[in-house]
Amino acid sequence: MEIKEIKEIVDAGFKGFEEKIGEDFKGQFESAKAAITAVIDQKGFQSAEQVEEALKLKMKGLEETILELKKNSLQANQEGKKSFKNIVGGSLEENKEVLGKLANKQSNEAVFVLTKAAEDLDPANWAGDSYDIAASERRGLHEFPFMPIWLRNLFPNSTTTKGVIHYIVENGEVGAAAIWDGSPANASLVAKPGEAPLFDDATAIVQWIAGITRVKREMLEDVEWLRSYISRTLLTGRKGLWVAENTVILAALDAASTPYDGDATNQLEMIVDAAFGQLKDNYYNPTVILMNNRDAVKYINLNKASGSGEYDAPIGVVAVIGGQLYIGGVPVVSTPGIPAGDAYVIDGNATEFISRMSPEVRAFEEDRDNVIKNLVTFRAEERVAFLVYDEKAVIKITLATT
């Protein structure tokens, strides 16, 4: 729509608004009308209905605030305090510079934000003058390397071209090998003992993991580092693709785990017993121990006795080498994805991480209404599955508090 048509709609909307609050300060709202008109014009709406709906959203909160202010200020005026006109006039005067910048399209539209989707990265994501600083002065963003543990690296990896994976898991056995006596006469010989494993079929669905960010094209041009920053955030950021991938792996491990069955009550003893007792009883060897970050510090690194208050970690059982924590020579990997109080002792050789599609980040200008709004959508996605071939190879421990 033309700016003239938008202005007519805004003027009409303000007319009804001014009738509700009085004509005393009509002139003081001219700058606000100009600002709103400029912001709506940037939206690129094609119909009067869209403009009217946008205006209604912007005016609702403003109307409620001023009506409440009028009510309170009239009461205050009866007590000899400031009049409503003085209060509102002073407020508008204080924001004159901001409204002026907005009307001249010199500032962002954070003051008048429409409904905002989770993936929309717009000026509202920059508080104060941070966008102007990022675009024109200096980067102003210090990024400390995010160094999480990617759980996919702890387990065997393979690929697939299918959307559903059918595989076999062992489910016990029939019979067992035993001593056979071959000394009797032929007529007295008995059959040799038989034994055979039992198998179940299992199915794993390859899952999509995805994330989207939508940003104005002009931002990508104004803030030079933003394109690479968005790609990196979607893929390896704190809320990115591979963090979600860790969640998928942990959910699969938890669903296919066997509870700790020992009688130890000390947290460190429970882990050692699960790793070198229960797991080895199942003919597996521990390759990794997973737990919450805080539990690794509290129960393992410190292992403070509840009675004497001293630290009881046995010499040689717990070691930190190059910043890596080990229990009995088995690496301990701590991650915030595991709830506090849970730990897993795993033989990773009985598991497998499968990739159907490697992680990718792509940019699109044709998404939704991007073309008419000059937006760019960034999409990160992958397809993965995680298999556990034997539940006895994953021991889950609920850490005691005694």
Domain locations in the chain?
Answer: 3-114, 204-398
Record the pTM.
0.64
Is 204-398 a domain of CATH 3.30.2320.10? yes
Q: Backbone phi, then psi, for 257, in 5-degree steps?
A: -105, 160
Q: What is the reported pLDDT for 114?
A: 41
Q: What is the pLDDT of residue 322?
A: 83
CB 230, CB 357: distance < 8 Å: no
Q: What is the pLDDT of residue 194?
A: 94
pLDDT confidence of residue 133: 72
Rounded to 10 degrees, the C-alpha dihedral 221/223/225/231 comes to: -70
Bridge partner residues of 215 (DSSP):
121, 376
Q: Which pLDDT score, from 0 to 100, does residue 222 have?
A: 85
Query: Helices then strands (H, E): number in the chain?
Result: 13, 14
**How large is the angle between the packed helices 48-78 and 30-43, nearest 10 degrees?**
150
Q: 30 vs 33, 202, 321, CA distance in Å? A: 5, 69, 68
Task: State how far the Cα of 241 lies from the Cα of 247, in Å rounded to an integer.
Answer: 10
What pLDDT tens digit does each residue of the chain (402 aa) get?
677 777 777 777 777 666 655 555 555 566 667 767 776 776 677 777 777 777 776 666 555 555 555 555 555 455 444 554 554 555 555 455 545 544 454 444 433 334 567 888 877 787 777 777 777 655 556 555 455 678 999 999 999 999 999 999 888 889 999 999 999 999 999 999 999 989 999 999 999 999 999 999 989 988 888 888 899 889 988 889 999 999 999 999 999 999 999 998 888 889 999 999 999 999 999 999 999 988 888 877 776 666 665 666 656 788 888 878 898 899 999 998 999 999 999 999 999 999 999 999 999 999 999 999 999 999 999 999 999 999 999 999 998 654
